[in-house]
Amino acid sequence: MRLLLLFALLIGSAAHAQQTVEYAIDDGDGDTNQGPPSTFDPQMLWGNYFLTDIPNGIVISEISAAFGPTFPSLEDGPVTFWILDDPDADFDPRNATALASIEAMPDVFGDTFFTVQTNGVVVSDAFFIGVSAALEGGADRPARVDTDAAGDRSWFFYDPDIAGVINDLGSAAFGTRMDNPKFVIFPGAFMIRATGRPFPVANEEAAAPLTFTFGTLFPNPLRSKTTLSYHLAEAARVTLNVYDVTGRQVATLVDGTRPEGQHTVPWNPIGLAPGVYLCRMQVGDAVRTQRLTVLP
C-alpha cells in the first residue's frame, strides 16, 4: 500500500485517548453496484459528503469502503481513496480541496468493508470521502450502494483524469448526486465511511475571564490575503500566532501591548502549503483558537 499525503497530522498519544467518531450513511446492507455505462471507459470517483458536527474539526484516521464483486481491481490496478475538505459546508464537493490520497488494492467485496489507515488528516466543518479507479464501461461496477439510504449526500464523477480535476470537481466531464432521477436508476448512498477523532485544541481554551473577542477570519478559506480582527475590553498584552497542525509555529502576527478597542491584522500566507492552520490568540490567561484553511 502506498500512502500519499498532501497534508496530514501526526496524532499524539493524547489524541488517541479521545473518543472516536464514526461517519456513515449506509446501514451495512448493500443492494446494488454502480459503474459507468458501456459507451466509454472513464475514471470514476464516488463518495459521500459528511458534516463534522464537531466545533474544532475532526482528525480522520480511517476510511472504509465496500466494493461490488464485478470490479477486477487486482487485474486492473489500485484504487485511490481521497479526503477532501469543504469549509463552506454547502453539501457540494465540487468546490472542495483534496488534503490526502491513499492508494490500495481492495481484496474483499460485497458488504465486507475494506479499510485504509491515514496518518491523521484534519478536516474542518465538512468533508468528502471518495474512491476513484480506472474502469471498463459496462463491465466494472465497483460502487456498492445501499438503496435504503438517502442519496442526497452521495456523489459520483466521470473524467479521463480524476486526479487532474480533484480540486475542481465542477470541471469533471460528468458529475451528479445519487438522488438525481435523470441519471440514477437505483438511488441510494454509497457504502463509504470514515472514522476520526475530535481535533485536540479545545483543552487549551482556558476558563479565564473573557477580556477580548476574536472576530471572524475573512476570507476563510483563502488563497492569498486574509484579515483577522479582535476587540480588547482594555489595554493588554496580546500574542497572536499561527501554527500548522503538527504544532509548528509558522507566523507571529501580534506580540506586544495593544490599547483597548477594535484591531485588525492582515496576513498573507506566502510560502505555506495548502491545508488547515490554527490562529491562537492569548490575552492574559485567556486563549482562543480559530481554524483557517489555505487553498492551493
pLDDT at 82 over 50: yes
Select the more confidently predicted residue: 149 or 86: 149
Q: Do residues 162 and 242 both lie within one domain?
A: no
For residue 118, the domain's CATH number is 2.60.120
| Domain end call among 198, 232, 263 | 198
Residue 15 is predicted with a pLDDT of 38
Domain count, the chain: 2
Task: Write the CATH number for 272.
Answer: 2.60.40.1930
Q: What is the pLDDT of residues 92-105, one digit of tens each?
A: 999 998 888 999 98
Whole-structure pTM value: 0.71
Q: State residue 54's pLDDT score.
A: 79
Which of these, 194, 179, 72, lies nearest to 130 by C-alpha position? 194
Lowest mean pLDDT among 177-186, 215-224, 246-255: 215-224
Which three cell numbers mark 3? Answer: 500512502
**One domain, residues 126 and 158:** yes
261 and 150 share a domain?
no
Candidate from 25-29, 123-127, 252-256 with smallest mean pLDDT: 123-127
224-253 residue pLDDT tens: 888 888 889 889 999 999 988 667 889 999
Average pLDDT for 6-26: 58
Residues sharing a CB contact under 8 Å with residue 261, sequence separation 6 or more, in sequence order: 231, 232
User: In the structure, what pLDDT confidence band is assigned to residue 12 with cuts at 50, 70 and 90?
Assistant: very low
| The pLDDT of residue 17 | 42
Note down the domain range covering 270.
203-294
Domain end marker among 159, 175, 198:
198
Residues 12 and 143 in one domain: yes
Same domain for 209 and 190: no
What pLDDT was estimated at residue 285? 78
> Are 63 and 207 found together in one domain?
no
Looking at residue 208, what is its pLDDT? 43
Q: Which amino acid is residue 40, in one-letter code?
A: F
215, 253: one domain? yes
Domain identity same for 23 and 170: yes
What's the burial of 151, exposed, middle or buried (CB within 10 Å: 0-12/13-18/19+)?
buried
Mean pLDDT of the chain: 84
Q: pLDDT value at position 14?
A: 38
Cell matching residue 196? 476520526
pLDDT at 75 over 90: no
User: Does the pLDDT at position 70 exceed 80?
Assistant: no
Residue 185 sits in the same domain as residue 239: no
